[in-house]
Amino acid sequence: MSGDTEVRRALQRIQAPDELEAQRRAWPLVRGAFEAREPVTWHRRNLIPLLAAAAVVVLLAAVLSPPGRALVGSVRDAFESEAPKAKPALTSLPAPGPLLVNSPTGPWMVRSDGSTRHLTPWWEGAWSPQAKFVAVTRAHQLAAIDPHAQGEVHWTVSRRGAVHAARWSPQAGDRVAYLNGRQLRVIAGDGTDDGVLRRRVGATPPAWRPGGDRELAFATIDGRIELAETDDGRTVWRTRPGEVPTQLAWSEDGKRLLALGPRTLRAWTDNGQKLWTIGLPVGPSGIAFVRGSHRFVLIRYSAATGRSDLVLYQAESNPGEARFLWSAAGDFGSMAMSPNGKWLLVGWVNANEWLFLRLTASKVTAVSGIAELFGGSTRRKRVEDVFPKSVSWCCPASP
């Protein structure tokens, strides 16, 4: 070997496989992270005292103005970040409407007075539009049960593959979409006319478009998001490939769709026009639309600090600057918006608590012992293994 020169030449000739494609894949993530950051302006870097004075003025304005006219409209900028003293038991819900909780022990219904009912022997469930029924699944079975009448089964179907992620169509409630292995199937609300909509899809729970009762959004195995007309199976639109999301969520008016993945959050209009992608740090995450708006709350975890933030973005042509709502050490899990849009329920996993954040005023209440309330025991298991995985507050426009 002729030494340095040969090594230099050889190394500079080597290309990483798929170099250009890797670059194409990376740029949207980098740009997303860039758009999601809160830039430090020259003024912020150089005129801290002025900014502090301005902040005092802004805070005074916030304090003196009525909540409805506060700085960002109906949602307050930030809650006090100190953890509230938790109540030892859930004695009531702060807003009308029952909860459906999917915990590792199965689905549970929670009434307004805080009383609970375990919907055995099912593994997970989803509300029908008016909370009259719950679509429940277990192993190979899908059923519609009446949660108010001792879980009476109205109909049931069995399939060969594993059945999960049932979602009832939001308005007429005449259809239920569900995953059967890799298949996406749709069945009528009375348990008849069961059929395949797509043969191979991603594992993401599908999401009915509010206002377009027969239109269903789902993820393909290569991370495309597709909107399909369930009457005839026609594809209304389909996006380019991307991350397979963990959650799809429609705004209440059915005009905006979000796809949350492990590393990205993507947004589209109802006609499939892409709005933006933002990069996310690796870690727990979740999204919930604010009712009657295109704004949504995102759980953003920071591995560097071990804290989770609740931040507010908008599903418009740009996500806007992140507005900080609340922060705590550890992981936030499931979120659910109350039907009247005034309260946000957030699962604070590490603390084994539920937080109820009043969005129109900086008020937070907490309830402890959530894992135990839904049949879990933290004596021998980690709290994250027994804490509820999802909650929906009747009657959500988008599951």
Partner 1 sequence: MVGPGRQERAWIRGAQSGSASDLEALFREHWPRAHRAAYLVVQDAAAAEDIAQEAFLAAVRNLDRFDRRRPFAPWLHRIVVNRAIDWARTRKLRRETAEIEHSDEADTGEFGNPFSDGVAAGLSALQPEHRAVIVLRYLLEYTPGEIADLLELPRGTVNSRLRRGLDRLEEILDRGQR
> Which residue ranges make up the site for partner 1 (CB under 8 A)?
1, 3-4, 6-8, 10-12, 14-19, 22-23, 25-27, 29-31, 33-35, 37, 39-42, 45, 279, 281
Cis peptide before 395 (omega within 30 of 0): yes
Q: Starting from the edge strand earliest in sequence, which strands make up the sheet with 390-393, in order?
A: 116-118, 106-110, 99-103, 390-393
| Residue type present at position 311 | V
**Which residue's CB is nearer to partner 1, number 2 or number 192?**
2
**Which residue's CB is nearer to partner 1, number 6 or number 190?**
6
Distance CA(347)–CA(340), nearest Å, equals 19
In the complex, what is the shortest distance from the CB of residue 40 to partner 1, in angstroms, rounded to a whole number? 4
Give the DSSP letter of residue 333: E
Q: Which residues are bridge partners to 103 per DSSP? A: 106
In the complex, what is the shortest distance from the CB of residue 258 to partner 1, in angstroms, rounded to a whole number? 20
**Which residue's CB is nearer to partner 1, number 30 or number 53?**
30
Token couple for 335: 């979120």
Distances (CA, A) of 159 to 169, 183, 202, 294: 21, 11, 18, 38
In the complex, what is the shortest distance from the CB of residue 276 to partner 1, in angstroms, rounded to a whole number? 11
DSSP H helices in the chain: 4-13, 19-36, 42-46, 48-64, 370-373, 383-386
**Which residue's CB is nearer to partner 1, number 11 or number 64?**
11
**Which residue's CB is nearer to partner 1, number 37 or number 389?**
37
In the complex, what is the shortest distance from the CB of residue 322 to partner 1, in angstroms, rounded to a whole number? 13
In the complex, what is the shortest distance from the CB of residue 25 to partner 1, in angstroms, rounded to a whole number? 7
Distance CA(276)–CA(33), nearest Å, equals 11
**Which residue's CB is nearer to partner 1, number 31 or number 255?**
31
3-state secondary structure (DSSP) of residue 159: coil
Q: Residue 161, CB half-sphere, CA atoms under 13 Å: how many?
A: 12
In the complex, what is the shortest distance from the CB of residue 356 to partner 1, in angstroms, rounded to a whole number? 31
